[in-house]
Amino acid sequence: MIRPLFALLMLASAIPALAEEKPLTRIAFGSCADQDRPLPIFEKLADLKPELFIALGDNIYADLKPEKGVTEMESMKIKYQKLAAVPGWVKINKTCPIMATWDDHDYGKNDIGEEYKHKDESQTIFLDFFNVPKDDPRRTQKGVYHAKTFGPEGKRVQVILLDTRYFRSKLKKGTAPLPGMRGLPYVPNTDPGATFLGEEQWKWLEAQLKQPAEIRLLGSSVQVVSEDHPFEKWMNIPAEREKLFKVIRDANAGGVIVLSGDRHLAEISMLPKGIGYPLYDITSSGFNQGFQGWRAVEKNSHLVAAMPHGNNFGLVTIDWMATPSPRISLQVRDEEGEIAIKDTLPLHLLKPGPAVAELPVKPKEGAISPRDALKKKGEKVVVEMKVQATGSSKTRIFLNSEKNRSDELNFTIVLSTKALTGKYEKATKETFANKVIRVTGTVGEFNGTLQIVVDEEKQLEILE
Ligand SMILES: [Fe+2]
């Protein structure tokens, strides 16, 4: 039964309509709100006037200090009522649409997954609280995953919110605690059947990623990129993390940025490889659960910027008019609403690269790709590649297989002046830009980059 107060608050949480044609420019998000403690940060968040607010889970702590004398589900409803009465929450609700998914504590229990026995009831309570219409697919499907696209063509933001709880297989724990850690660390679950999203949700996600959009905010309650810490994260089931990258690649989906929570810290991480372009994961946690003492920045081999302590929320801003492409600012804001950490990306960085959209030239018989040439140090080979970037010095022309010459997959052809004779006598770097070339030579190394130095005209052929 829904209590009268709850019903009233549900009405109050009616989402103001957003003109879907208007491009989004300010999206706030975050996670981890203990409804039993003050949440002044919500007011700072509302003051920034976001056009959309994404609640990424642990939106309440249903399992901590359960209400006395009522069932687990009644207690959960009371916790939601408490959240609904928080002044900052009321302010957000009045001024901006909310999209939400859940994490463990609002789903039901710490770190729990598909084995949670009240998950269907919990789902109904969640959907009621967020005022999800009766005809919404989430009212009949298992799990709270959903997506919505905002804005006109050319300025579309697709928000995809995953459910990382309903189907997630039980995680595996190690046998020995790590120094300074309570409990046992998670270790990779490599069981072939282990899943994060479950079959249905995977199919749905694949279809979503094929929908047209310029920017895709992929909300996952737990971190996707960060992989070194012993807590919950996608890396707990490595094959599923790989699968996530693969479905993004296979869909040729550009503009993906992960939003995550859960950790009671904030950070921006970036994985240079995996989806064909840099995958950013901006983690904001928590609204009032950020670590309050001092602590060092956690080990994260993909770290861009960290805020290891203090309450926080995330803000993504988009300048659609920026040149040469729209500019996205990923920000973590502190309790005062000030920027604590940020990174700014031009949207063209988030385009599927040669590894996806523009597949490297398939070499003809006897020739190999530049990626294969990277494995042939010291060997004489024939390489065929598309010149993605060029450079020159007084005595040399450099032809690169990747747009960014510091890319770890870059292979370089170095043309010395000795090679620039005969048909290449008047050649400049522009002669080779975007051309497919065939080069014969021995793979050598210079300053950590593998390359072939071409000293004779006959080593080099322009194919197209
Ligand atoms: Fe939390």
Ligand 1 centroid–CA 59 distance in Å is 8
Q: Using the mean position of ligand 1's atoms as its centre, give its distance from the Cα of residue 285 in Å.
A: 7
Residues 302 and 437 in one domain: no
| Residue 356 counted as domain residue | no
Tens digit of pLDDT for each residue in 202-245?
999 999 999 999 999 999 999 999 999 999 999 999 999 999 99
In a domain, 363, yes or no: no
Domain boundary among 298, 322, 350: 350
CA of 222 to the centre of ligand 1 (A): 10
Share of the chain above pLDDT 90, in %: 80
Q: How many domains in the chain?
A: 2
Q: Which residues of 249-286 are buried (b: 16+ CB within 10 A; e: fewer)?
A: bebebbbbbbbbbbbbbbbbbbbeebbbbbbbbbbbbb
* pLDDT value of residue 354: 53
More confident residue, 448 or 391: 391
Query: Could you tell me the pLDDT band of residue 363, with boundaries at 50, 70 and 90?
Result: low
Quote the pLDDT of residue 362.
52
Q: Are residues 325 and 386 in the same domain?
A: no
| Ligand 1 centroid, distance to 170 Cα (angstroms) | 18
Q: Are residues 289 and 190 in the same domain?
A: yes
- Ligand 1 centre distance from Cα of residue 119 (Å): 18
Reduce the DSSP state of residue 282 to 3 states and report it. Answer: strand
The predicted pLDDT at position 364 comes to 65
> What is the per-residue pLDDT across 118-169, written as a single tens digit (0 to 9) for each?
999 999 999 999 999 999 999 999 999 999 999 999 999 999 999 999 999 9
Q: Does 26 or 357 have the greater pLDDT score?
A: 26
Q: How far is the CA of 185 from the centre of ligand 1 (A)?
A: 17
Helices 72-85 and 87-95 cross at an angle (nearest 10°) of: 70
Residue 78 covered by a domain = yes
- Any bridge partners for residue 4, and if so which? none
Residue 355 included in any domain: no
Complete edge-to-edge strand list for the sheet that includes strand 98-100: 98-100, 52-55, 26-30, 312-319, 327-334, 339-346
Residue 258 forms part of a structural domain: yes
Q: Determine the distance separating the centroid of ligand 1 and the alpha carbon of 60, expressed in angstroms.
A: 9
- Same domain? For 270 and 375 the reply is no
Domain boundary pick from 350, 384, 405: 350
Same-domain status, 252 and 389: no
CA–CA dist 279, 422 (Å, integer) = 45
Q: Are residues 335 and 388 in the same domain?
A: no
Same domain, 86 and 231: yes
- Cis before 278 (ω within 30): no
What are the phi and psi torsion angles at 444 (to 5°)? -120, -175
44: its two tokens: 């700072």
Distance, CA of 7 to CA of 13 (rounded, Å): 10
Tell me the CA–centroid distance for residue 426 and ligand 1, in Å.
Answer: 64
Residue 360 pLDDT exceeds 80: no
**Residues 345 and 403 placed together within one structural domain of the fold:** no
* Confidence band for 105, pLDDT divided at 50, 70 and 90: very high
- The CA-based diameter of the chain, rounded to the nearest angstrom, is 92
Arithmetic mean of pLDDT, 2-12: 45
| 409 touches 448 (CB < 8 A) | no
Question: Are 283 and 432 members of one domain?
Answer: no
Q: Do both 387 and 288 map to the same domain? A: no
Q: Let me know if residue 361 belongs to a domain.
A: no
Please indicate, yes or no, if residue 124 is contained in any of the structural domains.
Answer: yes
Residue 447 clears pLDDT 90, i.e. is over it:
no
Res. 355 pLDDT band, cuts 50 70 90: very low
Query: What average pLDDT does the chain have?
Result: 92
225 Cα–ligand 1 center, Å: 18
pLDDT, residue 291, reads 93
Nearest residue to 106 (alpha-carbon basis) of 43, 46, 31: 31
Q: How far apart are CA 241 and CA 219, in angstroms?
A: 14
* SS3 category, 318: strand
pLDDT in tens, 406-439: 877 889 999 999 998 888 988 999 999 999 999 9
Distances (CA, A) of 317 to 24, 112, 365, 407: 8, 33, 49, 28
Which domain-ending residue is among 294, 322, 350?
350
For residue 58, the CA-to-ligand 1 centroid distance in Å is 5
pLDDT higher than 80, residue 11:
no
pLDDT of residue 463: 85
Mean pLDDT of 17-30: 82
In which domain, by residue range, is 176 found?
4-350
| Residue 161 belongs to domain with CATH number | 3.60.21.70
Q: What CATH code is carried by the domain that includes residue 398?
A: 2.40.50.140
Model pTM score: 0.75
For residue 286, is the peptide bond before it cis, meaning its omega torsion is within 30 degrees of 0?
A: yes
User: Does some domain include residue 112?
Assistant: yes
pLDDT at 3: 46
10 CB burial (10 A radius; 0-12, 13-18, 19+):
middle
Residues 391 and 328 occupy one common structural domain: no
In the chain, what percentage of residues exceed pLDDT 70?
93
Map residue 75 onto helix, strand or coil.
Answer: helix
Give the pLDDT confidence of 61-71 residue by residue, as tens digits: 999 999 999 99
Q: How far is the CA of 390 from the centre of ligand 1 (A)?
A: 48
pLDDT digits (tens, 9 = 90+) for 277-308: 999 999 999 999 999 999 999 999 999 999 99
Reply yes or no on whether the pLDDT at 13 is more than 60.
no
Instruction: Name the pLDDT band for 392 (thresholds 50, 70, 90).
Output: very high
Task: Give the mean model confidence (pLDDT) for residues 193-198.
Answer: 98
Given this model, what pLDDT does residue 405 score? 85
Same-domain status, 346 and 377: no
Q: What is the pLDDT of residues 38-57, one digit of tens each?
A: 999 999 999 999 999 999 99
